[in-house]
Amino acid sequence: MLKWALIFFVISIVAGFFGFSGVSAATATIARVLFGIALVIFLIFLVLALMAGQAVL
């Protein structure tokens, strides 16, 4: 998921460089949403791993 966020971020930078502000804004929003989803999934897995580690002890 982070790979797709990075791809959309690069597309946003390139589109902004060439003056396509609408495309740049749209892809930046998509990249931001994908990064947010990846961050939430990471935090969920982090909490689950910490809980599993405490269950073993």
**pTM (2 decimals)?**
0.81
Segment 33-51, tens digit of pLDDT = 999 999 999 999 999 999 9
Q: Are 5 and 27 in contact (CB under 8 A)?
A: no
Nearest by Cα to 45 from 6, 31, 37, 34 = 37
d(CA 1, CA 11): 16
Q: Where are the beta strands (DSSP E) in 1-57?
A: none
Q: Is the pLDDT of residue 26 over 80?
A: yes
Give residue limits of the domains in the chain. 1-55
